[in-house]
A and B are shown apart, each in its own frame.
Chain A
Amino acid sequence: MEQKIGVYICECGPNISEKVDIDKVIQAVKPLKGVAVVEKFKLLCSEDGKKFLVEQIKKHGLTHLVVAACSPRDHEKTFKEVCEKGEINPYLFQLANIREQCAWITDDKNEATKKTIRLTKAAIRRVRLHTPLEKKEIEGNPDVLVIGGGISGISTSLQLASSDRKVFLVEKEPVLGGLVNNFEKIYPTMERGPDLIKEKVFEIEKNENIKVFTDSQVEKVVGFLGNFEVTIKKIKEEDNIQDFNVGAVVLATGSKLFDPIITPKYGYGKFDNVITSLEFEKMNLSGKITLKNGKTPSNVAIVHCVGREEKGYCSDICCLYSIKFVRYLKEKIPSVKVSNLYSDLCIPGKTHQNFYEETLGKDIEFLRSKDIEIAKKGNNLEISYNDENNNKKKLTADMIILSPAVEPTIDASKLAAITNISQGNGGFFAEEHEKLGPISTSTEGVFITGCAQGPKNIFDSITQAEAASGKILTSLIPGRKIEPEIKVSQISEALCIGCKTCLTVCSYGAISFDDSKKISVVNEVICRGCGNCVAACPSGAANIKHFTFNQLYQELMEAVQ
């Protein structure tokens, strides 16, 4: 079919008309091949302007539209809608930026006019090579897989299930609840941890939308948003495998503690009565705090920041739970002396300073310290440290509680590989964007929450779990199709030489290799259209729709005239 390109130049009031000799531009572009009409208009983005364009399309039977006006970042969407109204495919359109990047950056009318002619000609040459592109729609499965049945996983599951989504909740332990099951109380409200868990687990068991798989782990996750094929296996039962399909995956696998065995100066594993915070929580929950010999401790030291130097980050929760421990100790052993050895008191947030201040009291001391070494002294333990003025000090204690760094769980690497996401700082799962995308990952449809994303307290974990449900409830809606990116990469079967270079450069894992045909294949649903594979391809087999080599070449040719 014969191409009929309509070219319209916006005066933008005086903004363009006073800086560019539009009539000269019209004369210059009129003779170009395929150009059916060239007109100018006062303000094309106005209601009148849009109406005018639609009328023009119909009047001249235009097949393509070129508008020379402001930046596409302002009005590309506006004119694309005009195309749709005029029944032209919105991708058979090009907007030449003759305002922000031409009229507004020079006072020389001559220069501006010449540049406008170049830009308009470039747009015309480019649009000739545009191909119509259609919106894609794919069915999305609204069900969700939640990996990890701790407080985060439980909270996400309950929120999703209350919206009638089916949730598959997979937990590797025999029971749900995760770490919070061990905390007699949680700060700063000091409500009972196990009660909180019990209440929520009860709701889960009642809820028909949630299917729980304990003693199980995820073996395989393949696919993309709306369509993940998942395989889970019962631990220690080789044949007990289940497959199902979900639309999204939430990683809520929590954390574990740094093992102080790695830092011998703390005497962990060497001396009796040097225990980790988790061991202390468990002991406290059992009702009695005792030394190994059954006696009640009278001098307890809590050492903060264990493993901080090795891990390279502050674990957020330790100062606060160490303050909580002071309360545990004083409640159960009123006469006990408690010393907290810390470097910086990390108690951010509106409630935490108050929590700390109300914990202070008789026989409780907070000592700034560094270079801590723990040794045995008779029946007791002795801590040598430097205070903040670098004076050497010693402290005797009969029980020492270590507050170790929070780390990702042992299977974090395996899960990252299975779900095709990366591990970021500290080995925690990498979020899509540090500020604006803490819950999503670079793989669309895979979300991370709670301590799996980074060390944080219970309330923040719950917020993230709720956030994950917010993201999922808005991206996967039953009955609604998913619209992936249109301007994606396409790889020519004929030109692909099977070198696999494109696979290595794709940040999204959108390219796979077809072993039988020995060519690379783009998954158009995952592809985000950056073009990296195109630039990397040695044989020119890859191209981005709407940003093909030939289209850019046309713009280039005008640029070098």
Chain B
Amino acid sequence: MTEKFEPRIVGFLCNWCSYAGADLAGTSKLKVPSSLTPIRVMCSSRVDPVLVTTAFLRGADGVLIAGCHPGDCHYDEGNYYARRRFAILKKVVEGLGLESDRLRLSWISASEGQRFAEVVNEFNEKIKKMGPNPLRTKKTL
């Protein structure tokens, strides 16, 4: 018997744009998968690579980092740094033996409730297809 796979997705949302966009998705009563648990940070640049790798090591099936569109960062250039870290993190995720697509970076503005819903729905489907994080059940790497 195969148990239905319920993904566990962690979403790091920046306070000024993407967290607001996620709120708007709620205010607009859009359907967003409950598999994503949001964690608010002040800026996408706060998303520590260690946090992301820890997330995967602890069994997260997917990690979404969402920030302001390039040029719109509340702290000037934070999101550019997030983008650079994301590029490197993708390799790290591969190094853990996981599909690099389990990590996603999206720019979502405060007025893009619709887009937030679309991104999370799409990501959720993708993760479902990939299956659960194998590290969840492993005792050691």
Residues of chain A at the chain B interface (Cβ within 8 Å): 71-73, 97, 99-108, 111-112, 114-115, 118-119, 122, 442, 487, 505, 507-508, 528-532, 534-536, 540, 544, 547, 549, 552-553, 555-561
Contacts and interface: CB of A to CB of B under 8 A. Distances in A.
Interface residues of B, number: 45
Contacts of B48: 534-535, 549, 552
Contacts of B51: 549, 552-553, 556
A-B pairs, top 8 by smallest CB distance, nearest first, are A531-B46, A100-B26, A559-B37, A530-B75, A532-B45, A104-B26, A105-B32, A507-B76
B103 interface: no
B38 A97 contact: yes
B43 interface: yes
A544 B26 contact: no
A100 B39 contact: no
A442 B76 CA distance: 8
A536 B10 contact: no
A557 B60 CA distance: 9
A549 B50 contact: yes
A308 to B, nearest CB: 25
8 contacts: A104-B26, A105-B25, A106-B34, A505-B45, A530-B78, A531-B41, A532-B43, A556-B10
Contact of A536 (B23, B59, B81): B81
B40 A119 contact: no
A469 to B, nearest CB: 25
Contact of A104 (B27, B43, B55): B27
A106 B41 contact: no
A233 to B, nearest CB: 32
B8 interface: yes
A115 B34 contact: yes
Interface in B5-32: 8, 10, 15, 19-20, 22-27, 29-32
A544 B58 contact: no
Nearest to A119: B37
Nearest to A532: B45
Given A101-B23, A106-B31, A552-B48, 16 more contacts: A73-B20, A99-B26, A100-B22, A102-B34, A103-B26, A105-B29, A105-B30, A111-B34, A114-B34, A122-B37, A530-B74, A534-B48, A535-B47, A536-B81, A549-B48, A555-B39
A552 B46 CA distance: 11
Nearest to A557: B58
B31 A544 contact: no
B112 to A, nearest CB: 14
A108 B34 contact: yes
B78 A532 contact: yes
B39 A552 contact: yes
